[in-house]
Amino acid sequence: GFTIFQFAFIAFSSSTSTYTSSLAGDSCFANKFADASPQNKKKVSTFIDQIFSGGGTYYSTALTKAFAFFQSEPADLDRVILFMSDGAPSDSASVIMSTQIRGNERLNNSVIIMTYGLGSADFTVLTHMAQNNGAAYGITKTLGVPDAR
C-alpha cells in the first residue's frame, strides 16, 4: 500500500522550539507530525536555516518533546528519532538516559533512536542513547516492558 511519511523537527537548547504554522487551527509541527510533503519540507528547511547556536544543550528537554509527539500516533507506525547535537549536554547523562528509557517505555519501547554528533557533542552519551543503555548511569529498565527495538 501507499505509505505517507510524517515528520517533525525540534530545535533545542535550554528549551525546545518547533516550526509553527501561521494557519488558524493548524497544529502540525507544533505538537503533532506533519506529512512529509514537498511544501512542508520546504517550510521546515526555512525554519532550520534560521536556527543559531546559543544557550544550553539540554538533551532531556528535546527527548521529552520528541516522545510527546508519538503519544497521539497509532502504535503500529515505525517510530524513529534522529537525534542530532553539536554540543556537550548541559544536563547529566543519568537524567538524559532516564528521560529516554522512561519515555520509550511509556511507548512500549517502540521508538528507535539514532544519534548523530557534530563538533563538541558528547559521543559517549550519544552512543549510549543509540544503544538505549542506561546501565552505565544506574538507570535500570522496568520489568515486563519489551526490549527496545
Q: What is the pLDDT of residues 106-136, one digit of tens each?
A: 998 889 999 999 888 889 999 999 988 888 7
The closest alpha carbon to 103, from 138, 134, 57, belongs to 134
Say if residues 132 and 100 touch (Cβ distance below 8 Å). Answer: yes
pTM of the model: 0.84
Does residue 5 have a pLDDT over 80?
A: yes
Does residue 24 have a pLDDT over 70?
A: no
pLDDT at 3 (0 to 100) = 61
| Percent of all residues in the chain with a pLDDT value above 70, rounded to a whole number | 90
Could you identify the residue written with the cell 497509532?
Answer: 74
6-137 CATH, one of 3.40.630.10, 2.20.28.160, 3.30.390.50, 3.40.50.410: 3.40.50.410
Rounded distance between C-alpha atoms, residue 132 and residue 102, angstroms: 11
Does residue 95 have a pLDDT over 90?
A: yes
The closest alpha carbon to 53, from 118, 122, 127, belongs to 118
* Domain definitions of the chain by residue range: 6-137
Q: At 126, phi and psi to the nearest 5?
A: -60, -40
Segments of the chain assigned E as strands: 6-7, 10-12, 16-18, 34-35, 79-85, 111-117
CA geometry: angle 74, 36, 108, nearest 5 deg: 25
Helix (H, G, I), strand (E, B) or coil at 83: strand
CA 127 to chain centre: 15
